[in-house]
Structure 1
Amino acid sequence: MTEPTREDGAPWRNFYGRRHGKTLRSGQKQHMQTTLQEIAPRGVTWAENPARAAIDPGALFADGRPLWLEIGFGGGEHMLAQAAANRDVGIIGCEPYVNGVAMFLSQMAREEIDNIRVHAGDARDLLDVLPEASIDRAFLLYPDPWPKKRHHRRRFVNPEFVDPLARALKPGAIFRVATDIPDYVRHTLEHMCARPDFEWLAERPADWREPWADWHRTRYEAKAIREERTPHYLTFRRL
């Protein structure tokens, strides 16, 4: 039986999040048509790279700098802050929600940040083509919790997603997860601590209750705190 394919020729992958919201403003549309094209990694989409050959990180940033990856950057507040504070690092952000990407691009242009590349799509497509052991740090910040038990397989912290992430992370690379949902904390620890290729770095309660020293609060965290939910900060190291 032939596998169903998408319009770009890719094998069909279920995607459960939102891709579009309100109509973009004219300036946002312009950034999607110009700025995004300038900073989108080449060879990520199936139409560009049907063989799924590994892309060249040197083509993203020509100076061989460390690469960080943010999966689902939302409005991009954290990614912008990290890029501004770490100009010698190249950051790749993945976000399928068009309105979030457009909002981020406008802010990035205003702040004249140039060390970010954006894949406006499913992180799985990027993970397909990242070379093995190419990423120095990864962030998963306030992912969709999919609270119903029958939807838990949609959560990012499952082998379908973490296996290719593990392949792309360098030995010793750090993987940070932030969430305000207690069951997502439990789910993440259950899955990550059972893996032989990661270790949880917490030694005391403050290590998951207090934010990282270089943390920049996102709008999702601000909302969680307003609604009296408690953020948790989990740090794992790729072995």
Structure 2
Amino acid sequence: MSESHPPLRSYGRMKSRPIKPRQAALMNTLLPQIRAPIEPFDPRTLKPDAAEVWLEIGFGGGEHMAAQAARSPEVLILGAEPFLNGVASAVRHVDEQQLSNVRIHDGDVRALLERLPDACLARVFILFPDPWPKARHNKRRLVQPEVIAELARVLKIGGALRFASDWADYIDWTLERFLKSPHFAWPAERADDWRTPPADHITTRYEEKRLGDCAPVFLDLLRK
């Protein structure tokens, strides 16, 4: 990252509770083997036979990322998560399922995006990110114009981006900002297109808690 950039800041707790001993051991042994490079890189060099490269932003405990990786072994999945407990949980999933097609960035996704080449991703998932519901905290939300611009850069033409949330204001916020971008389209035609979980969606424990103020909404956007 250029020295002209302000330092990245991920809001919230970096660790909420002690990491279990087995997960802590995997953080020391497995994570270094599957950590995304810290320099600019082409994801296909990590898995030369990958049919596609996907990215999950804020993978939480890693259940969705691991399940998608197990379901699509021909795909390389990059995952970004700044919170240590989530990373520890994800590394455990990778170990238990013996996944060879996952690479993890344990930090702010904006640093990872800067290291990726243009048009390298076929899919992006942003599932139930922190809504920062208070108006004075909205600036902390992940979905901001500069992040959308970076996502447009790294997504291939025709690439898909799925955003899901159970906070009505964040859904409106996200749709408004993506549709202001000339690079994204929302092809939904009927309510079921956003109210019904997509066929390939994998429900996580966080989603099941229903902590938001509305039923989950799924926005499937396309890179124009």
Give the TM-score, by structure 2 length.
0.94
Partner of 2:23: 28
Distance 1:86 1:68 in 2: 11
**Within 1, Cα distance between the matches of 2:187 and 2:63?**
25
The residue type equivalent to 2:72 in the other structure is N
Partner in structure 1 of residue 43 of structure 2: 57
Q: Select the structure of larger CA radius of gyration.
A: 1
Mapping 1:143-162, distance limit 5 Å = 143-162=129-148
Aligned to 1:194: 180
Q: Report the count of equivalent residues.
A: 222
Residue pair 1:193, 1:199 contacting (<8 A) in 2 also = yes
Alignment of 1:170 onto 2:174: no
Q: For structure 1, which runs of at least 5 residues remain unmatched after alignment?
A: 5-9, 44-48
Identify the residue that residue 18 of structure 1 maps to in structure 2: 13
Residue matched to 2:58 = 72
1:212 to 2:160 alignment: no
Residue in 2 that maps onto 1:86: 72
Q: Segments of 4+ in structure 1 off by > 3 A?
A: none
Residues of 2 paired with 1:228 and 1:96: CA distance? 25
Structure 1 residue identity aligned to 2:114:
D
> What residue number does 2:218 align with?
233
Identity of aligned residues (%): 45
CA distance in 2, matches of 1:129, 1:89: 19
CA contact (8 A) 1:156 1:162 kept: no
1:94-133 equivalence runs, <5 A: 94-133=80-119
Q: Is the 8 A contact 2:118 2:153 kept in 1?
A: yes
Q: Bigger CA drift: 135-144 or 12-21?
A: 12-21
Report what 1:138 is aligned to: 124
- For residue 37 of structure 1, what is the aligned residue in structure 2? 32
Distance in 2, Cα, partners of 1:99 & 1:232: 26
**What is the rounded CA distance, in whole Å, between the counterparts of 2:204 and 2:187 in structure 1?**
23
1:11 deviation in Å?
4.3
For residues 201 and 99 of structure 2, the distance between their equivalents in structure 1, rounded to whole angstroms, comes to: 18
Moved more, 133-142 or 144-153: 144-153
> How big is the shift at 1:34?
1.1
The residue that corresponds to 2:189 in the other structure is 203
Quote the offset at 1:228 in angstroms: 7.5
Asked whether the equivalents of residues 143 and 179 of structure 1 are also in contact (C-alpha less than 8 Å), the reply is yes
Residue identity matched to 1:230: A
Quote the Cα distance in structure 2 between the aligned partners of 1:153 and 1:98.
Answer: 23
8 Å contact from structure 2 (residues 42, 120) kept in 1 = no
TM-align CA RMSD: 1.7
Match of 1:7 in 2: none
Contact 1:67 1:135 in 2 (8 A): yes
Residue 56 (structure 1) shift? 2.1
> Which stretches in structure 2 are left out of the alignment for 5+ residues?
none
Q: TM-score normalized by structure 1?
A: 0.88
What CA deviation, in whole Å up to 9, does each residue of 1:174-221 have, x standing for no partner?
Answer: 000000000011101111111110001211100000011011101121
Quote the offset at 1:15 in angstroms.
2.4
Q: Is the 8 A contact 1:174 1:235 kept in 2?
A: yes
Note the C-alpha offset of 1:90: 0.6
Q: Secondary structure at the match of 1:100?
A: helix
Letter in 1 for 2:107: G
